[in-house]
Amino acid sequence: MTYPIPTIKNSSKPSQYQRAVAFCVDRGFLPYASYVAHQILEKEEHRDFDIVICIPHTESLPKEQNPNIRYCAIDYSHILNLPVGRLSMATYYKIFLPAIFGNTYEQILYLDADVYVKTSCISSLMDNHKENTGLVMAVDISEIERKSGLKFHNSYLDHYAAVNHQYSNAGVILFNTTRLLEIGYLNQLMGYAENNLEKLVRHDQTLINTVLYNEISSLSFLFNYQLIDTTIPFLEEFEPKILHFVGELKPWNTAHGFAGKLHDEYKSFIQQHFPNHKIEANSEFKLKYESRKKKRKYTIPLREQLSLKIFIGKEKLKRSISFFQKSTNTEARKRHKNRKILPNFRVTIRSYICE
């Protein structure tokens, strides 16, 4: 069976180059993708790629358009009814990029809207990865936790370990369109999805890693540096090029911590270019608590309620400790728990930087 390819219903401008950076968002995430595109335009003085922002054709293109960005309205109406959980269908849009733009771009670097580009690195990334595989992706943070001795994700990752596959993160993907079209990648993906909806635990990321695992080459973790409590302490040491705010804490919604430091940047940009888009910052505790409530762990109400109370207690303890112990990253590493965990993370992260 040949799967129908989504079509471009409207484009703000024609393509200029043979490769592109692309974002796939709905109206809610358009301001954040636009901010990242703005970062790239500022940092890449000698740009040799298009910047493309794809949105569903049912949502109008922005009235204020940056002339250096190509906006495309895509008809995704033929997409299967794929599982999304707390996400939107937009999480799957990226997998259609090579099929949609295969006759236009040889390489497409897909970026999630929740990344932060720190330096000029896009052209060099694409220049340095021209291997004959369909995708180039960095390791997922769950693999780093696993390799560092934590057992949070073993049941999920065992399947990939069995086929000697490094489970990869779908927030930054370099697509080799020629190779992917050559192997009929879209029919492979959609064929699996149609018959295995219940297995798409992590949505598009599960789909890509399961079906195309032998088409994935490794990207340095520096280009998709996923931020959690155990990777933030090494920011100065490793100097990543692209930060990825995985989880519920984003620069546009967080008042404190590392993500909160960037809130004013996002707020200023969005107020100027998207004045009708509401942006506010909440505490890390509130964001984590609301996220935890949505991720129901137990079917028995009493057990779930007790689990939530334990979660609240742990977060209050962490906040009280941080209030009385204002410490630097260096001092934080000396704490008993971090003394055990962080060295393992340093070694694991370094191995995925040097590959």
Instruction: Let me know if residue 275 belongs to a domain.
Output: no
Contact between 33 and 23 under an 8 Å Cβ cutoff? The reply is yes
CATH number at residue 16: 3.90.550.10
pLDDT < 70 positions in the chain: 1, 285, 289-297, 311, 313-339, 355
Q: Is residue 1 part of a domain?
A: no
Is 306 inside a domain boundary?
no
295 within domain boundaries: no
pLDDT value of residue 159: 87
- Domain membership of residue 218 as a residue range: 7-225
Question: What pLDDT sits at residue 341?
Answer: 79
Strands 107-111 and 19-24: parallel
pLDDT at 326: 46
Domain count, the chain: 1
Burial pattern 169-182, b for ≥16 Cβ within 10 A else e, equals bbbbbbbbbebbee
Dump the DSSP string for 235-298.
HHHH--SEEE--SS--TTTBSSHHHHTTHHHHHHHHHHH-TTS----B-HHHHHHHHHHHS---
Give the model's pLDDT for residue 295.
66
- The pLDDT assigned to 348 comes to 95
Q: Does residue 257 belong to any structural domain of this protein? A: no
Give the predicted TM-score (pTM) of the model: 0.88
Assigned domain for 307 exists: no
Assess contact for 332 and 338: CB atoms under 8 A: yes
